[in-house]
Amino acid sequence: MLKTTLLTFLFASFLLHELPAQTNSLNFYLEKGLKNSPLLRDYSSQVSSVRIDSLLVLCGYKPQVELSSQALIAPVSTHFGYDEAITNGGNYAAVVGVKQSLINKKIKSAQLQSIELLKQSLDVNRLISETDLKENITSQYITAFADFSLVQYYRQVIGKLSSQKDAVKSLVESGIYLQTDLMNLALVIKAQEITLKQTFIQYKNDLAILNLYCGMVDTSYVELTKPVISEAAVMDFNSLPAIRQSKADSLKNTNSRTLLDLNYRPRLETFADAGFMAVKPLNIPNNFGTSFGLNLSMPIYDGKQRYYEYRKIDLAENTRMLYRDAYIVQYSQQQRQLQEQLRLTNGLILDITQQLDQQKEIIDIYKIEIEKGIVRFTDFLLAINNYTDIQNNLAMAEMNRMQLINQLTYLK
């Protein structure tokens, strides 16, 4: 009951302009949606994390300094204890060591390239998510605006019909028209008011869905401006997110092969340490020293692991090319289909507009003839209904046109 009363109050306020209406545009909702999207913010955090990963890689190639210490006591008594030849009875050490890998420029470059390719993939995924969000918000805005346009139209129709009441009433009193004609006019006005209420409720529902897409909590009544939806130019394949992702995947496969090859090259590392090592605490002052040297490692035989890793990379590259080729065919087909639908819809809108203009001329003539009482009033009401139906068809065709352009704009 409370819900019905509230809806009635909102509707009455809308009709009488008692509440000031806020006007919002498509750009307003797009900005809110992009700002409030948790998914887009998550991608931004992941990109920041990847940048930190590249810094971690660089840190790993700087000299690594480590402190190690040990205090070992191995007590020995009769028939108990470790052999002192092994333990020396104890071990006391505190050493600072430094390690630095050499000949690592190519490995470091390949690892940084891997991180950069990961960042590119995140950028592409973020672009895809942003494109999907923009498309959904624009599509819902177009739907809501179509409802709003019909609300505005029905208000105009009710106003025009209501303005004929006095004229028809005078003609009824003069005996030119029947009382039933006046009653039919009242029924038509009531029917238009009911349609207006239904359309208004649908508009509020579509507006709520639009707010949901944008992460907004807003139940107030707003008016929407007509969206500027221009026919999109044909997009270059290389700029499409899926093609960009495919290129990044190709570079990943190439980089994986490079990293695999680098794993089978010799690795050289230099080290140095300084500190003390002693078997007795009293000897510590006399056992300070240092050591330094080189470590060289190189794999010789891995049981054909390298060969099978190559095969995995080749399979991944072949799969990537299959997906890329299939995507290009699918994208081209969808683009042609949408362009053909748009061409046909433009022609349909032109036909409906001409029909609407002709019907409007008839209604204007009927208005003059009604005042003179030379036309059947039922013919006038029939013309009004036809005009309403044509206007609905035009609104639907224009909405479909904007939806097609929206799909073409964000086709991916």
* Domain of residue 92, residue span: 62-103+266-298
Q: Distance of CA 175 to CAs 169, 179, 373, 379, Å? A: 10, 9, 10, 18
How many domains are contained in the chain?
2
pLDDT digits (tens, 9 = 90+) for 181-239: 888 888 888 988 999 999 999 999 999 999 999 998 877 888 999 998 877 666 677 78
Q: Distance of CA 367 to CAs 153, 155, 357, Å? A: 19, 19, 15
CA distance 99 to 135: 54
Buried b / exposed e along 150-170 (16+ C-beta atoms within 10 A): bbebbbebbeebeebeeebee
Q: Is residue 342 part of a domain?
A: yes
Residues 191 and 173 in one domain: yes
Angle between helices 179-213 and 26-36 (to 10 degrees): 30
What residues contact residue 148 under an 8 Å CB cut-off, 6+ apart?
203, 223, 224
CA torsion through residues 147, 24, 5, 152, sign: negative
Q: Is residue 143 part of a domain?
A: yes
Q: What distance, in Å, lies between the first and last C-alpha atoms of the chain? A: 47
What residues contact residue 130 under an 8 Å CB cut-off, 6+ apart?
34, 37, 40
CA distance 142 to 109: 49
Residues 73 and 218 in one domain: no
Residues 288 and 303 in one domain: no
Nearest to 156 by CA among 409, 402, 360: 360
How deeply is 85 buried, as exposed, middle or buried, from its count of CB atoms within 10 A (0-12, 13-18, 19+)?
A: exposed
pLDDT digits (tens, 9 = 90+) for 329-379: 999 999 999 999 999 999 999 999 999 999 988 888 887 777 676 777 788
| pLDDT number for residue 399 | 93
| pLDDT number for residue 199 | 92
Q: Is residue 251 part of a domain?
A: yes
Residues 256 and 398 in one domain: yes
* CATH code, domain with 85: 2.20.200.10
| pLDDT number for residue 198 | 94
CB contact at 8 A, 146 and 395: yes
Question: Residue 256: how many CA atoms within 13 Å on its side-chain side?
Answer: 17
Overall pTM > 0.95: no
How deeply is 311 buried, as exposed, middle or buried, from its count of CB atoms within 10 A (0-12, 13-18, 19+)?
A: exposed
Residue 154 confidence (pLDDT) above 80: yes
Instruction: Indicate the average pLDDT of the chain.
Output: 85
Residue 17 confidence (pLDDT) above 60: no
What is the distance, to the nearest Å, from the Cα of residue 409 to the centroid of all Cα atoms in its chain?
A: 14
Residues 88 and 195 in one domain: no
Q: Is residue 3 part of a domain?
A: no
Q: Is residue 135 part of a domain?
A: yes
Q: Is residue 84 part of a domain?
A: yes
In the DSSP assignment, the letter for residue 80 is: B
Helices (H), 222-304: 241-262
CB contact at 8 A, 373 and 173: no
pLDDT digits (tens, 9 = 90+) for 38-74: 998 998 898 889 888 888 888 888 888 888 888 888 8
| pLDDT number for residue 278 | 85
Residues 122 and 71 in one domain: no
CA distance 260 to 311: 12
Tracing tokens 């630095």 back to the chain, one arrives at 100
